[in-house]
A and B are shown apart, each in its own frame.
Chain A
């Protein structure tokens, strides 16, 4: 059995390496500082992707800014305060269900609420909030698990010193759960960077440099999608893909390094 498993593992690694190799092979030629920091020309056929990078950062940053307080707050309530009643079980089931909803449905919801009903039009704000809704279940679940994993010893230690429940939560539990919460945030960030359909529907695909959250913008994934489907420039598409993958890897590596240092005193 061992050789078979070895072969399967090798195949997995090989597929990943092949994917990355292809990106580097096809994309590295077009990837340069000029490409990353330049303005696009001819609908992306030439020039750079600077506005796309800015839009992506604002979009994803905004999504995290919205989803983290909401998600972590909900998780703290569920883990610390909620009694195990019918209502809480209903909330948990709904969160689970939310996690299984295809992202395009979040896109349609965000489109009809933010873009149309609230009249924001295609905008980074609409995209961020839509992403936030989509990421909510991930953030809640990982944060709740992290909070529940905090040892009872630590809570009791704080309470035994005269801390109230809230002080214990704020000063000890959240601190101990922080690496787990951060892991959830990184997971969410990765999904936000990769999301295409919901973003296209809510933030649009405008190639201009956004000046405010109510401006539309084009994220890297959307850019990649448009370059590839409209056959504008295969080289630019691969270079954008390489930039996207590099960004995701960089975020993951940085977070892992931070976690490593955090956990090992």
Chain B
């Protein structure tokens, strides 16, 4: 198989939080149209890594990021953060719908960049369809989004991210606040979206990693211990730390 250029790549990435060295030199390649799962014990740096990818650390004055992040081979620091975040979407651990209607939530991103009218209506419908939420909400688009169930809210947040047509989707434990049924719906969505974009998902569930991931990266103590094809890392880990972690799970 030909080695194609990674969609997203980090080179020797470090993150410092005040006096804490939270991420210690992580180099990772994220291929396009695939799912990369980040696993590891809590506090291992996997969420810190994820949040570095769309420069969310810029917002925390105490955080410092060193090293390079390349999107399509170009350093993301050459992009405005707003431009980067438009191309690299993010879904958070807890559903965070804005205090506005379902429609306005999905339209939020595109309207920042000038979408309006019938074009926007179509984009909202299409995004909700892709997030497998349209059928459930089409009759109440103008109701407050906070009236939806937790699982619906999370799919709404995915629809909101999809409305920006992102090239990469970052997901930070997107199912940790959801019940099994809603988790299944989100995982099905991830498997479908991987045909169109690169997905990086932080998960604490080995089952979830097994079900959705193509590539698995194991983090511990702020370091990337091991990365490889999902089946290989999860079934026959190369490193003893990975094996110990998987055995404990």
B74-104 at interface with A (beta carbon < 8 Å): 82-83, 85-86, 89-90, 92, 94, 96, 98-100
Contacts of B109 in A (CB 8 A): 161-163
Q: Are A163 and B56 in contact (CB under 8 A)?
A: no
Contacts of B43 in A (CB 8 A): none
- Expressed in whole angstroms, the minimum distance between the Cβ of B61 and any Cβ of chain A is 8
Q: Are A161 and B85 in contact (CB under 8 A)?
A: yes
Cβ-neighbour of A161 out of B94, B143, B164 (below 8 A): B164
A120 to B109, CA, bound (A): 49
A175 to B145, CA, bound (A): 14
In the complex, whether B157 has a CB less than 8 A from a CB of chain A is: yes
Q: Are A158 and B147 in contact (CB under 8 A)?
A: no
Contacts of A167 in B (CB 8 A): 112
Q: Is the interface of A mostly helix, strand, loop or mixed?
A: helix
A234 to B100, CA, bound (A): 51
Contacts of B90 in A (CB 8 A): 156, 160
Q: Are B92 and A156 in contact (CB under 8 A)?
A: yes
- Expressed in whole angstroms, the minimum distance between the Cβ of B54 and any Cβ of chain A is 6
Q: Are A162 and B99 in contact (CB under 8 A)?
A: no
Interface string of B124-166 (1 = CB under 8 A from A): 0000000000000000000111110000000001001100100
- Expressed in whole angstroms, the minimum distance between the Cβ of B141 and any Cβ of chain A is 14
Contacts of B100 in A (CB 8 A): 175
Q: Are A162 and B85 in contact (CB under 8 A)?
A: yes
Assuming A162-B113, A172-B98, is B92 touching A153 (CB within 8 A)?
yes
Contacts of B94 in A (CB 8 A): 153
In the complex, whether B247 has a CB less than 8 A from a CB of chain A is: no
Q: Which residue in chain B gives the minimum CB-CB distance to A155?
A: B59
Contacts of B92 in A (CB 8 A): 153, 156-157, 160
- Expressed in whole angstroms, the minimum distance between the Cβ of B142 and any Cβ of chain A is 12
Q: Which residue in chain A gives the minimum CB-CB distance to B58?
A: A159
Q: Are A160 and B99 in contact (CB under 8 A)?
A: no
A155 to B90, CA, bound (A): 13
In the complex, whether A151 has a CB less than 8 A from a CB of chain B is: yes
- Expressed in whole angstroms, the minimum distance between the Cβ of A170 and any Cβ of chain B is 11
A94 to B90, CA, bound (A): 41
In the complex, whether A176 has a CB less than 8 A from a CB of chain B is: yes
Q: Are A265 and B164 in contact (CB under 8 A)?
A: no
Assuming A154-B98, A157-B98, is B56 touching A162 (CB within 8 A)?
no
- Expressed in whole angstroms, the minimum distance between the Cβ of A225 and any Cβ of chain B is 43
In the complex, whether A171 has a CB less than 8 A from a CB of chain B is: yes
In the complex, whether B17 has a CB less than 8 A from a CB of chain A is: no
Contacts of B157 in A (CB 8 A): 157
Cβ-neighbour of B99 out of A159, A163, A164, A172 (below 8 A): A172
A163 to B56, CA, bound (A): 12
Q: Are A163 and B96 in contact (CB under 8 A)?
A: no
- Expressed in whole angstroms, the minimum distance between the Cβ of A167 and any Cβ of chain B is 6
Interface string of A189-233 (1 = CB under 8 A from B): 000000000000000000000000000000000000000000000
A167 to B98, CA, bound (A): 13
Assuming A172-B98, A172-B99, is B56 touching A159 (CB within 8 A)?
yes
A175 to B146, CA, bound (A): 14
Cβ-neighbour of B143 out of A156, A163, A265 (below 8 A): A265
Q: Are A162 and B112 in contact (CB under 8 A)?
A: yes
Assuming A265-B146, A265-B147, is B96 touching A162 (CB within 8 A)?
no
Contacts of A265 in B (CB 8 A): 143-147
Contacts of A171 in B (CB 8 A): 98, 108
A171 to B147, CA, bound (A): 19
Q: Which of A151, A157, A160 has the largest count of B CB atoms less than 10 A from its CB? A: A160
A159 to B96, CA, bound (A): 12
Q: Which residue in chain A gives the minimum CB-CB distance to B83?
A: A162
Interface string of A173-188 (1 = CB under 8 A from B): 0011000000000000
Q: Which of B54, B83, B108, B147 has the largest count of A CB atoms less than 10 A from its CB? A: B108
Assuming A167-B112, A265-B143, A265-B147, is B96 touching A154 (CB within 8 A)?
yes
A155 to B99, CA, bound (A): 11
On A, residues with C-beta under 8 Å from B are 151, 153-164, 167, 171-172, 175-176, 265
- 3 cross-chain pairs, A with B, having the tightest CB-CB distances, nearest first: A265-B144, A162-B86, A161-B109
On B, residues with C-beta under 8 Å from A are 54, 56, 59, 82-83, 85-86, 89-90, 92, 94, 96, 98-100, 108-109, 112-113, 143-147, 157, 160-161, 164
- Known: A161-B109, A171-B98, A175-B98; 14 extra A-B contacts, CB below 8 A, are A154-B98, A156-B92, A157-B92, A157-B96, A157-B157, A158-B98, A158-B108, A160-B85, A160-B89, A162-B112, A167-B112, A176-B98, A265-B144, A265-B147
